[in-house]
Amino acid sequence: MSTVEDFTEEAGLFYERLGLSRTAGRVVGHLLASDDDGADAPELCERLAVAKSSMSVALRQLDQAGMVERFRRRGERRDRYRLTEDVFGRAFRAKMAEFDAFQELAARGLAAVGDDPRRRRRLENMRDMYAFMADRFPALLDEWEASR
């Protein structure tokens, strides 16, 4: 029997492999399995057995990465946190920024190697491939969003 707690831990491991901290990944897992009202910090601390200082850091990371947003219900004194509506679309756009970084790295390599065609060939291929992907990706995302 698979539980929400199990899923939360799996998500923690999954996102840890992708570069988030374990705690941040577990938060994402918990918020994925909760509804759009999200959760507040004390609840997350208690459910995930994490100190509030660690939770503060993890939530700030996720906020700055654009993965969660803070909000506050009218009249309440504490923040709540939920995944951004478009969190996975944002993840894809972040991948596109990575494509741009690859292109830039290839360009730096080309500036460094000079004129030798044997040494330019692979870097040019790298640059062109990532340029191609960066060019095509937005249309793919648009197509997905249109299909919703």
Residue numbers at the binding site for DNA (CB under 7 A): 21-24, 40-42, 49-60, 77-79
Q: For residue 23, count other CB atoms closer than 10 A to its CB.
A: 22
What tokens does 15 get?
């996102």
Yes or no: say if 113 and 123 are a contact pair by the CB < 8 Å rule: yes
* Residues 73-102 interacting with its own copies (rule: CB under 8 A): 83, 88-89, 92, 95, 98, 101-102
Chain-centre distance of CA 105, in angstroms?
22
47/148 Cα distance (integer angstroms) = 33
Yes or no: say if 120 and 110 are a contact pair by the CB < 8 Å rule: yes
Near its own copies by CB under 8 A: residue from 11, 48, 55, 68: 11
Q: Does 125 bind its own copies (CB under 8 A)?
A: yes
Contact set with its own copies (CB under 8 A): 2-4, 6-7, 10-11, 14, 18-19, 29, 32-36, 83, 88-89, 92, 95, 98, 101-102, 105, 108-109, 111-113, 116, 118-119, 121-123, 125-126, 129-130, 132-133, 136, 140, 143-144, 147
